Amino acid sequence: MSFKDLGLAPYLLETISKREFEKPTRIQEEAIPVILKGQDVLGIAPTGSGKTAAYVLPLLQNLNRTTKTRDRQIKILVLVPTRELAVQVENVFRTLSEHVRFPFKSMAVFGGASINPQMKGMSRVNVLVATPGRLLELTESNAIRFDDLETLVLDEADKMLNLGFKKEMDRIFELLPPRRQNLLFSATLSLQVQSIERVLLKRPAIVKIEPVKETIELINQLGYAVAPEKKGPLLRHLIRSNDWKQVLVFTSSVYQADLVADKLRKNGINAQATHSKKSQGKRRATLADFIAGDLTVLVSTDLLSRGIDITYLPVVINYELPRSPKDFVHRIGRTGRAENPGDAITFVTEEDQHHFGVIQKKMKHQVPMIDADTLDLK
């Protein structure tokens, strides 16, 4: 199937061909036609499945139907859990709207940044991507209105609920006009997500992409049995001997993230840590450097992992195991994105062995192991 078969307009097809998307991903195949028809959608799909373009493309086309744009009146509202995701989703709207022939202005708003520029920038915005808390602040100061709202999108709804945004979300739903299209995307269909889904969606088309199997199969996984004190030398050995240029390393704490990045730098490897204790500006700059290829190693905690969206990420390393198998799949899932295979390497100490066994069982995938003691580590 091609993008053309999905009923997308020529100005969008032109943009897609420039982005070198050869063919639609599964969620795009299934979701684009129903969103174009104005139907509600429940999309159970992980990051990496191409879900953002799956709603951005048809929504851009639907926006074309009503060109009239009133000031401060939002037509499409996308709620997301994190600042990083807000910036990325807005970026997808901006890049995919390159050839639209109607007034279009998108904006990302999120907490942790000054509210004034966001308020001022709101003029003529018709697509708003927002984290729930900041959106409420903006509505309270009358910076935006929703009378013309056509579509509400909840992206990574499970994450939003896990972060405790339920109350804010309910308050936002009350502010919106009842007649609207609702799209809900979530990696999992948890009970909490189901409770929102029931009140929000009307006869939705359900699009379910099996996350674990599909993603896992795209990834070359390897484990290293390693003593805790050998992790640093092993990491450096792997980076140097493979001549890796872009490596994402996960740790389970902010403290470890800083420590690992410091140690790499001391050994002449270009590395930075990113985590919740770093300022918003610093996080953004570090991620931009990493995406641009100016930073070899990005060390991150799980909290930020969902926001990191890179088309092709060749290597992910679990320096420490995450507690939940779901987080493990999420971490390594970023190397097997949109049909690009990558390597996922996991450091396993003796203490981790049982937990790693549980993760493999949940993943239904056995990871081959190498004993780090057999390597010549400096």
Binding part of the chain for ligand AMP, among 21-29, 113-121, 221-229, 286-294 by CB under 6 A, reads 21-29
The DSSP string of 70-119 is -TTB-SEEEE-SSHHHHHHHHHHHHHHTTT--S---EEEE-TTS-HHHHH
CB of 134 to ligand AMP, least distance (A): 22
CB of 227 to ligand AMP, least distance (A): 36
CB of 87 to ligand AMP, least distance (A): 13
CB of 96 to ligand AMP, least distance (A): 10
Q: Does 102 bind ligand AMP (CB under 6 A)?
A: no
Of 313, 56, 306, the C-alpha closest to 187 is 306
Q: Helices 51-63 and 10-18, interaxial angle, to 10°? A: 150
* Spatial separation of the C-alpha atoms in residues 91 and 95, rounded to whole Å: 6
* Spatial separation of the C-alpha atoms in residues 182 and 189, rounded to whole Å: 16
Binding part of the chain for ligand AMP, among 19-27, 139-147, 196-204, 224-232 by CB under 6 A, reads 19-27
The DSSP string of 303-314 is HHHTT---S---
Residues 23-62 binding ligand AMP (CB under 6 A) are 24-25, 28, 47-53
State which residue, 309 or 320, has the beta carbon closest to ligand AMP. Answer: 309
Structure token pair of residue 323: 């507690």
CB of 47 to ligand AMP, least distance (A): 5
- Grouping H, G, I as helix, E, B as strand and the rest as coil, residue 171 is helix
- Grouping H, G, I as helix, E, B as strand and the rest as coil, residue 40 is coil
Per-residue mark of binding to ligand AMP, 333-352 (x: CB under 6 A)? ----xx--------------
Q: Does 309 bind ligand AMP (CB under 6 A)?
A: yes
Q: Does 288 bind ligand AMP (CB under 6 A)?
A: no
- Binding residues (CB under 6 A) for ligand AMP: these are 21, 24-25, 28, 47-53, 309, 311, 337-338
